[in-house]
Amino acid sequence: MKASPDMTCLRLPSPTRRRLPGLVPVALVTLAACSGSGPATVAPPVGQEIETPGIEGYTTQHNGFTRARIDNATTPGDRAILAQFEDANPDSPAGYRNLIAQTEQRYLDNMEIEVIAQVAATVNGERVVRVLRLTADQGPFENVDSRGNLIAKGEFFFRGAAEVYARVDGGALQRGVGELQNMVVDFDKQSVSINLRTPFDPTGGSDIETELTAASIPLNVVTGTFGGPVTVSTRSGDTGEILTSDGLLRGNLNGDAAGLSRLVENMTTSGLFTVGGIGDRFTADGVFWGSQLNYAD
């Protein structure tokens, strides 16, 4: 049965809850069970174009996921290393590994995260020497109903995890491990705002303090892709000096009709960012992933 525009929505059973690694349960926001009544919005043919030079975006052929990718490989040797990770039965070459093991293997139905890096053994384990490639693949996004109207309205809120791989003054690569602290997706304004942070906590595995902010970057409401300018800053753990660099971010949303109409909270997100360049004291690449609030409670 199809509901009329002002008909009360039916409540669906809640899905099985799954927790993102490192995500603290949050009960700050209770989302309404249904979208409010109001005129339907006809979906645009393709949505607004999201341009992020330096961060690739396309749909994968093997599973139809939407991909964001930063490729730092520069030599035939780098390409040969990456090819080994792409085998059907990948054989991680010595001195290289995927820093994020498929998002802890628990979200393979809607996202896959990969950070291939060169690593070196140390007294305390290992350190990241350089990152060859970062990839964030996100599952399907279904925001157009059978009548050709957009489903989602208003704001949706996300939290999750993040990692940053940064250099200061051309020094050794430092790895920051932290949180996607807040992400607001506004379907009415077709925009996304993001804040993520990694602390200076060497004993906890985070070697550099960073903070990313992105205010109202464009969102394609048809494809679920978003992207635009971001700023990332870092503060020295020794001197307190703050350095800031600008760059770009590209991410994607995963959601179905039930989630986008607020009957359940089952949406997820992931993406990549890169800041700094020639002449900048601070450069960094990073990855984030997360879920809609209440999804992991």
Residues 184-232 have pLDDT tens digits of 999 999 999 999 999 999 989 999 999 999 999 999 999 999 999 999 9
Cβ–Cβ < 8 Å for 93, 81: yes
Spatial neighbors of 160 by CB under 8 A, at least 6 apart, are 20, 23, 179, 180, 183, 269, 288, 289, 290, 291
Say if 47 falls within a structural domain. Answer: no
- Distance (Å) of CA 180 to CA 3, 47, 117, 212, 258: 36, 26, 22, 9, 24
Say if 27 falls within a structural domain. Answer: no
Say if 220 falls within a structural domain. Answer: yes
**In the sheet where 96-98 sits, what is the strand order?**
56-59, 66-71, 125-138, 111-122, 96-98
Say if 134 falls within a structural domain. Answer: yes
The total number of structural domains in the chain stands at 1
Q: How confident is the model at residue 236 (pLDDT cuts 50, 70, 90)?
A: confident
With 50 as the cut, is the pLDDT of residue 36 above it? no
Q: Could you tell me which residues are beta bridge partners of residue 206?
A: 201
Give the integer Cα–Cα distance in Å for 42 and 243: 44
Model pLDDT, residue 162: 96
Calculate ∠ Cα 72-73-77, nearest 5°.
160
Say if 40 falls within a structural domain. Answer: no
Say if 20 falls within a structural domain. Answer: no
Q: Dump pLDDT digits (tens) for 73-130.
A: 999 999 999 998 887 666 668 888 888 864 455 566 788 899 999 999 887 778 899 9
Give the integer Cα–Cα distance in Å for 147 and 10: 19
Give the integer Cα–Cα distance in Å for 242 and 232: 10
Average pLDDT for residues 246-273, to the nearest whole number?
A: 94
Say if 83 falls within a structural domain. Answer: yes
Q: Which domain holds residue 153?
A: 56-292
Model pLDDT, residue 295: 54
More confident residue, 50 or 3: 50
Give the integer Cα–Cα distance in Å for 37 and 233: 42
Say if 3 falls within a structural domain. Answer: no
Give me 97's structure tokens.
């590994």
Give the integer Cα–Cα distance in Å for 206 and 223: 34
With 90 as the cut, is the pLDDT of residue 9 above it? no
Residue 91 sits in a domain whose CATH number is 2.40.160.90
Q: What is the mean pLDDT of the chain?
A: 84
What letters, b where the CB count within 10 A reaches 16 and e where it falls short, cover 45-79?
eebeebebeebebeeeeeeebbbbbbbeeeeeebe
Q: Dump pLDDT digits (tens) for 143-182.
A: 999 899 999 999 999 999 999 999 999 999 999 999 999 9
